[in-house]
Amino acid sequence: EKYRTYVVKTVACMERQRMKVASVDKMAAIFNGVDRSKKNFNKSNLSTPLKIAAILSTLATFIRCLSIQATVFTTTAHIAAIVNGFSGVIIGPATALVSAVWFPTGERTTATGISSAASQVGMAISYVLGPGLVGISHVNSTISLRSQKSANIYRMFPLPGMSFDFTGKNRSAIPAETSVYQTSLQIQIMSLMRIEFVVQCLVLIGILTWFPKQSQISNSNIQVSTLGLLESLIKLIKSMWFLCLSAALTQGMTGPWLAMITMAFGTITSEEADKLGFWTIVLSSILCLVVSRMTDIFQGHLKLAISGLLVISSVMFFWIILLDSKILPFNRYELYAAVVLGISTNWSTSALYLELASEISFPISEAIVGGFMIFMSNVVGMIFYLSYCIPGMGGRWSTCLVFASIFVSAIFIICVEEQYNRTKRENQVPSLLAIESRVSRVCKELYNIIHTTHNIRRSQPYMVGETVTLFRIEGE
């Protein structure tokens, strides 16, 4: 019984540490978001800020691997979270800006969707790679099976720096196999982080070597924003708070909720949560690509697509609440289906939100729009993480809160006036360019005619007696 109590307290402590690091990551993005987005992005050279972001991400993964000692790791983990937050601030706004600058009108939502899907695929890989390298099955065989079962752990997020005093008076109170278990987990997690660092280094080398400085597609009708940061923020707050708040409530809560799903449902084990997270993200990535491409093919229906997806997501989370409350007969597979569909339809709206916001807010820069929406989403996510510190919020109430946020988001998006200011402006530019091109072509033809006539008159002499008279153009 003492061993069970110790393990439960250990897991609770690990959860609190993990939420602290997650909150630090959110706060780093909040305090460095919108202004850095405006300063870093230049439409003529997007490669430089993106390369800086890759360097910061690599630096963050390296900092975590410096030491396994408890005090040092606690410090480096928080520093790495802050540095990674800086990188996220740059990458986030780049999604909509690269799509706007490097892709034509009929491909922008698809490009944004590919970027969102790629980030989700990375999360899906983490759900496979993490449990594959870290877990009870890899712990030293000296730990008895009985001790493993008595731990009764549904979900663990251990940190390599977590350590305890196994000497003196505390030594007799803690079973010997617990020290082996804790040390083994520390070694496994440190190995996982080093593998992540190596992969990140390879990604960095690829970006520094092959990432192009500018698009290979010529977009002469791209409109460059001349608004300043303060003026842009004032316009966003005045005219777009419905849309931005809807996106923040939608994107800011479901991610933390999925990460803490074992606290919401005690019947879901660690292995089941990993599989559930993996397939949720895979379906979300596929759905994001499909929806983005469909909205590019059938343009002018972004609001309708977002509203439909949010309604489906809210219905799925209401289904989850009914199953968890036993109002409907509980079925584990129904719960899995509701979670997968609810989150995947929710996450597939990220690209659509960015594109709709960029269209409505024009001529505000896409970098500022994306940075502001990420700022709002991080604020909501940080508040949601901190809500787990409230007694009783770890269970059913967190699911109810997510359902309420999605439902309110659907109402907000219905209140948004759908406008395509950027597309209308860019559609006017080709007609002006066509007129300019036609005038230029006519002027060139006139110049060629005059030049040809001039050469003929200079080269053909007419004999009058013995006098050679050259006809010249007047004014020569």
pLDDT of residue 393: 65
Cα–Cα distance, 51 to 167 (Å, whole number): 48
pLDDT of residue 459: 58
Amino acid at 394: G
pLDDT of residue 58: 94
Beta-carbon contacts of 411 under 8 Å, excluding residues fewer than 6 positions away, are none
Amino acid at 6: Y
Q: What's this model's pTM, rounded to 2 decimal places?
A: 0.68
Cα–Cα distance, 385 to 78 (Å, whole number): 16
Asked if the model's pLDDT at residue 317 lies above 60, the reply is: yes
Residue 36 binned pLDDT confidence (cut-offs 50, 70, 90)? very low
- Residue that wins the pLDDT comparison between 96 and 435: 96
Average pLDDT over residues 370-387: 87
Q: What are phi and psi of 122, to 5 degrees?
A: -60, -40
pLDDT of residue 404: 93
pLDDT of residue 159: 39
- CA-closest candidate to residue 339, choices 349, 329, 331: 331
Q: What are phi and psi of 468, to 5 degrees?
A: -95, 120
Q: Which CATH class is domain 2-214+223-419?
A: mainly alpha
pLDDT of residue 313: 94
For 400-434, the pLDDT digits (tens) are 899 999 999 999 999 888 888 888 877 775 554 45
- CA-closest candidate to residue 37, choices 355, 354, 353, 368: 368
Asked if the model's pLDDT at residue 456 lies above 90, the reply is: no
In this structure, the number of other CB atoms found within 10 A of the CB of residue 272 comes to 17
In this structure, the number of other CB atoms found within 10 A of the CB of residue 299 comes to 13
β-strand partners of 463:
468
Residue 312 binned pLDDT confidence (cut-offs 50, 70, 90)? very high
Burial 240-267 (b: 16+ CB within 10 A, else e): bebbbbbbbbbbbbbbbbbbbbbbbbee
- Long-range contacts, 328-335 (Cβ 8 Å, 24+): 332/267, 335/265
Asked if the model's pLDDT at residue 56 lies above 70, the reply is: yes
Cα–Cα distance, 452 to 459 (Å, whole number): 11
Asked if the model's pLDDT at residue 17 lies above 80, the reply is: no
Q: How far is CA 396 from CA 402, 407, 453, in A?
A: 10, 17, 88
**Is the Cα dihedral 374, 346, 258, 113 positive or negative?**
negative
- Residue that wins the pLDDT comparison between 52 and 123: 52
Asked if the model's pLDDT at residue 345 lies above 70, the reply is: yes
Average pLDDT over residues 62-75: 88
Average pLDDT over residues 247-263: 85
Asked if the model's pLDDT at residue 93 lies above 80, the reply is: no
Asked if the model's pLDDT at residue 256 lies above 90, the reply is: no
pLDDT of residue 255: 84
- Residue that wins the pLDDT comparison between 138 and 296: 296
β-strand partners of 468:
463
Residue 367 binned pLDDT confidence (cut-offs 50, 70, 90)? confident
Please report, for the chain, the start and end positions of each structural domain, with discontinuous segments joined by +: 2-214+223-419, 426-469
**Mean pLDDT value across the chain:** 74
In this structure, the number of other CB atoms found within 10 A of the CB of residue 421 comes to 15
Most confident of 222-236, 390-404, 417-431: 390-404
Q: What are phi and psi of 469, to 5 degrees?
A: -110, 125
Residue 112 binned pLDDT confidence (cut-offs 50, 70, 90)? confident
Residue 57 binned pLDDT confidence (cut-offs 50, 70, 90)? very high
pLDDT of residue 16: 47
Question: 240-249, 350-359, 443-452: which has the minimum mean pLDDT?
Answer: 443-452
- Residue that wins the pLDDT comparison between 366 and 287: 287
pLDDT of residue 442: 67
- CA-closest candidate to residue 346, choices 293, 300, 412, 287: 287
pLDDT of residue 228: 72
